Chain A
């Protein structure tokens, strides 16, 4: 949220963005078997924007409890994980550079092979 007056936001105050994160296709097992996480993510360095890249590193630090290699590879998600921002493939919104907004819903889903 912008503060039009630039008023009341000191440098120490961390801006927080409210997001809903969902994990599926087995990825929920990496974060306490909980599928839906309503989170407040601090924006880095007082910047007023949050990218998917920032969010991934936040998720890795704060939500992933085990086997992080099953979630990430390098600075992005591992092969076989679909990322959806507001029900839309992140390929269509700029992948790691996707800019997130307040109340966005981000889904991480591992592709299934069973049948």
Chain B
């Protein structure tokens, strides 16, 4: 029987071989595509006796359901094939949008992302396959797009969008789709679209709600017209902290695809000057009228002097008080003697030292996974639950074999921020020896028990 390490070795060597074969396949496909494109170009250069707006027989077959659509038709499809769309973010919103862009025949499709695929992305970022976990999202998304439609051009921008590269990247596309997940990037993309004069299809989703609108289209408003002052950082939840039902960004991403396709094909009425609000839980969609372009807007208003130069020098992180690449917040509120590492805590368990572990996460987090013998007192109810802690400590002291040693009070949370806030409160309320576990349960997984689930 093979050992686990032998199986792993074989798996790795097979995966390497597979990657090599995949690369060869991509290369050959690209070569074949070039040859086909040249042939198609030659065919449309007069040798075909059937005029079809530059569509090849294969294109007519592939896009036939678009072509027979009276309000879309050959002209709509031809416009789409000539268009270029950039999707910033290959996450929950970008995933379905990219799939539809590729399938519908957007001529050139750009993808910007700097992240790698993670297992906890898969429930909503439906463009990625399990085999790509740990690999760049751009590579994964581009491969999926190419496998749907090998006749379009897919461009990979495997980098974070910044003021230093945004002008160059965005200027190569007709339409920009904002499928990102944070405030500074949203302001940056909107401003960049204003200085370049590009329409921006903007979507957002969190929890069970979604929002969608088109900015900077036909003298409509830009993001700054609507939100001249950025919200406080505490008002901007991420999907990692607030949670998100997978299908919600899916719906908004599909609607973003719809709006971008309408603009690219020059059909219908884009959702400019209006905003769509989705409330998935109550099953309601409302479309509201929003303000037009603001004459006072700093980016696009009458007296705005916002140039490409200003854009390059603008500090979006300072403006929104939020870093562009959102690293989890790491507070440092307590002196080191009031803190204990996860490793040290694991030793107190091994030594069977009397202690009480309070987990201050919300109850629905505690229900996902928790450390053995921890008691759940959410931070919001901590102050009201102090007697509960006192009696738990007393019980633990009575149980403790070693007389004279008082029971320790430890506090844990997901990442080690709320636990510090809790310890501050406990100190104030007389539990002066309370300590928090540095880095929370995430640190437990990294430093003590890799089997402990993270979420």
Q: A residues engaging B (CB < 8 A)?
A: 24-26, 35, 69-70, 78-82, 84, 87-89, 91-92, 107, 109-115
Which residue in A80, A92, A111 is a CB contact (below 8 Å) of B291? A92
What is the CB-to-nearest-CB distance from B282 to chain A, in angstroms, rounded to a whole number? 7
A92 to B242, CA, bound (A): 32
B186 partner residues in chain A, CB cutoff 8 A = 113
Which of B94, B231, B234 has the most A CB atoms < 10 Å from its CB? B231
Inter-subunit contact A115/B237 (CB<8 Å): no
Which residues of B are at the interface with A, using a C-beta cutoff of 8 A? 89, 91-94, 179-183, 186, 203-207, 209-211, 226-232, 234-239, 242, 244, 249, 252, 275, 277, 279, 282, 286-291
The answer to whether A89 and B277 touch (CB under 8 A), given A79-B232, A80-B230, A113-B186, is no
A89 vs B206: C-alpha distance when bound (angstroms):
22
A114 touches B244 (CB 8 A): yes
Complex A-B, nearest 6 residue pairs according to Cβ-Cβ distance, in ascending order: A80-B231, A114-B206, A79-B229, A112-B204, A91-B291, A115-B93
> Which of A78, A89, A109, A114 is close to B231, meaning CB atoms less than 8 Å apart?
A78
Contacts of A79 in B (CB 8 A): 227-232
Question: Given A112-B204, A112-B210, is A26 in contact with B237 using a C-beta cutoff of 8 Å?
Answer: yes
Interface pairs (19), CB distance under 8 Å: A24-B209, A25-B206, A25-B209, A79-B228, A80-B227, A80-B229, A80-B236, A82-B226, A84-B288, A89-B291, A92-B291, A107-B288, A109-B277, A113-B183, A114-B204, A114-B238, A115-B92, A115-B203, A115-B252
Q: Which residues of B contact A82 (CB under 8 A)?
A: 226, 275, 290
Residue of B91, B211, B287 contacting most chain A CB atoms (<10 Å): B211
Complex alpha-carbon distance, A87 and B276, angstroms? 11
Q: Give CA–CA (A115, B235) in the complex, Å.
A: 15
**A contact residues around B289 at 8 Å (CB):** 87-89, 92
The distance from the CB of B33 to the nearest CB of chain A, in whole angstroms, is 31
List residues of chain A with CB within 8 A of the CB of B91: 115
A85 to chain B, nearest CB (A): 10
Q: Determine which residue in A81, A84, A112 has the highest number of CB atoms from chain B within 10 A of its CB, and name it.
A: A112
Q: In the complex, given contacts A80-B229, A115-B93, A115-B205, what are 8 additional A-B residue pairs having Cβ atoms less than 8 angstroms apart?
A: A26-B242, A78-B232, A80-B227, A81-B231, A111-B227, A113-B237, A113-B238, A115-B249
Distance of A5 Cα from B89 Cα, bound (Å): 63
CB A23 to nearest CB in B, in angstroms, measures 11
B91, B183, B209, B275 pick with most chain A CB within 10 angstroms: B209
* Residue in B92, B181, B231, B279 whose beta carbon sits within 8 Å of that of A111 in the complex: B231
Alpha-carbon gap, A76 to B373, bound state (A)? 47
**In whole Å, how far is A67's beta carbon from the nearest beta carbon of chain B?**
9
Q: How far is the CB of A26 from chain B (nearest CB, A)?
A: 6
Q: Say yes or no: A115-B211 contact (C-beta < 8 A), given A24-B279, A89-B288, A92-B291.
A: no
Q: Is the CB of A113 within 8 A of B277?
A: no
Closest-by-CB residue of B relative to A92 is: B291
